Amino acid sequence: MSDIIVGLDIGTCFIRTVIGEFTENDTIQIIGVGKTASPGLRNGTIVNIEAVMQAVKKAIEDAEMVSGYEVQACVTAIGGGQIESWDSKGVVVVSGKGNETREINESDMARVIEVSKALSIPPDRQILHVVPRSYIVDGQQGIKDPKNMLGVRLEAETHLVTASSTSIKNLQKCIDRAGYRVDGVTLKTLAATQAVMTDDELDLGSILIDMGGGTTDVLVLLDGAPVCTLSIPVGSSYVTNDIAIVKGIPFDTAERIKLKSGCCWEPLLEEYEEVIIPGVGGRGPEAIPRTEICQIAQERVAEIFNMIRAEIVRKTSLTQLSGNVVLTGGGALLPGVAELAQYIFKTSAVRIGIPSNLGGIVEEYRTPEFATAVGLVVSNTALRRHIDTKHSNKYNEQESRKGNHLGSKLARILNEFF
């Protein structure tokens, strides 16, 4: 098996690559990072395969230059409007001889998950993940890992994530034409969760908000498993667009102003700060209060958060979560975004999702914009360990009890589909 794992996050505005290397202790460290602009995408959807292919090649080559490795394959992620999800349920009779009470094994768990996939799914969609939320054994609910329990009837409550078949094929085609093999496709927010969330946040109930350029993707988790997946067709590039329109300046100029002087929570600003708006078409430069830029950004980001809040209320019966709201993606770099989220979601439990320190010679990955790419590396590290353990027949009691951890679940899910 290869000594490296490559995570490739193809976003609306940027393509990010992270290369992880296995150490002698079978841990992972980050040894390469690449980032490049991604022309050819609109709201997370590929609209120009050739442009995306060239950008993929450059992002991976940049990471290769840092790491010293030549990349052959990668794992990637998908999100945006191409994603739809449903809750499902499967029921099977526990295998065994005669009418005696039976012991549940991995085969029974695999069968009940397979049964839960028997939904009427449109022909243009394919199942990306089937995440088990909990099991029911002979009417006893809330079981996380039923292996070795005694029972006759086994039920599984699952969360099915589907993606547009065409979108997946276009994604794979871009990477293939760039000269790399695709070893797996994962839901973006599920990957980001692996990089930035703690076990307590997974169990208590948390919301991950991935603020991309063209879309904002959301994953709601409770008891260690997803309960809601959704996407808002508005992202941080819309803030840039609003600044450009209101101030009558080119988009690129508005983006520079947003990155240098942007803020979306007015109380953070000094009493008076100025922003210079470059002149256009013979018009001279103009000095304006920074509060004017902040008001534009704050209104748009507040709209995004309100849309998310309304969708979560509409799609779930949750009234309160005890975990955190975790913000990732390039949009999470905007000053004041956490404070605004606290105001909109009416909670102080909001933080910026920074990937854990995985060591290595580079630190650029430790920002919220690299959460998905790092999460792809981390989750596929869990997959490698899962496969290695399975092949060596060294399952033990401690390992089998990790069913409530999303990393262990994701390893089994990836193993099933890729």
Work out whether the CA dihedral 289, 292, 293, 295 comes out positive or negative: positive
Q: What integer pLDDT is reported at residue 345 of this predicted model? A: 94
Distances (CA, A) of 398 to 333, 385, 395, 402: 39, 15, 8, 7
Q: Which amino acid is at 67?
A: S
Q: What integer pLDDT is reported at residue 388 of this predicted model? A: 52
Q: Tell me the C-alpha distance between 178 and 168, whole Å.
A: 16
Q: Tell me the C-alpha distance between 309 and 345, whole Å.
A: 7
| Three-state secondary structure call for residue 19 | strand
> Is 69:19 a contact under the CB 8 Å cutoff?
yes
Q: What integer pLDDT is reported at residue 264 of this predicted model? A: 95
Contacts of 277 (CB under 8 A, 6+ apart): 247, 249, 257, 285, 286, 287, 288
Does the pTM exceed 0.85?
Answer: yes
For β-strands 125-137 and 140-143, DSSP reports them as antiparallel
Q: Which amino acid is at 41?
A: L
Q: Tell me the C-alpha distance between 28 and 44, whole Å.
A: 29
Q: What integer pLDDT is reported at residue 101 of this predicted model? A: 61
> Is 413:131 a contact under the CB 8 Å cutoff?
yes
Distances (CA, A) of 177 to 53, 162, 172: 6, 25, 9
Contacts of 404 (CB under 8 A, 6+ apart): 144, 145, 203, 223, 224
Q: Which amino acid is at 64?
A: E
Q: Tell me the C-alpha distance between 352 and 338, whole Å.
A: 7
Work out whether the CA dihedral 300, 305, 306, 311 comes out positive or negative: positive
Cα end-to-end distance, the chain, whole Å: 15
Work out whether the CA dihedral 189, 193, 196, 202 comes out positive or negative: positive
Both tokens of 379, joined, read 């989750």
Q: Tell me the C-alpha distance between 336 and 323, whole Å.
A: 21
**Per-residue pLDDT of the chain in tens (418 residues, 90 and over written 9):** 468 999 999 999 999 999 999 887 778 899 999 999 988 888 888 899 999 999 999 999 999 999 999 999 999 999 998 899 888 999 999 987 655 668 898 999 999 999 998 888 888 999 999 989 899 999 999 898 999 899 999 999 999 999 999 999 999 999 999 999 999 999 999 999 999 999 899 888 899 999 999 999 999 998 888 889 999 999 999 999 999 999 999 999 999 999 999 999 999 998 788 999 988 877 888 899 999 999 999 999 999 999 999 999 888 877 677 889 999 999 999 999 999 999 999 999 999 999 988 887 778 899 999 999 999 999 887 655 554 545 444 434 333 333 334 444 454 444 443 3
> Is 369:16 a contact under the CB 8 Å cutoff?
yes
Contacts of 329 (CB under 8 A, 6+ apart): 11, 192, 209, 210, 211, 212, 216, 235, 236, 368, 369, 371, 372
Q: Residue 1 has what DSSP assignment? A: -
CB atoms within 10 A of CB 224: 24
